[in-house]
A and B are shown apart, each in its own frame.
Chain A
Amino acid sequence: GQQLNQSPQSMFIQEGEDVSMNCTSSSIFNTWLWYKQDPGEGPVLLIALYKAGELTSNGRLTAQFGITRKDSFLNISASIPSDVGIYFCAGIRGSRLTFGEGTQLTVNP
Chain B
Amino acid sequence: DQQVKQNSPSLSVQEGRISILNCDYTNSMFDYFLWYKKYPAEGPTFLISISSIKDKNEDGRFTVFLNKSAKHLSLHIVPSQPGDSAVYFCAASVWEGGSEKLVFGKGTKLTVNP
Do A and B make up one complex? no
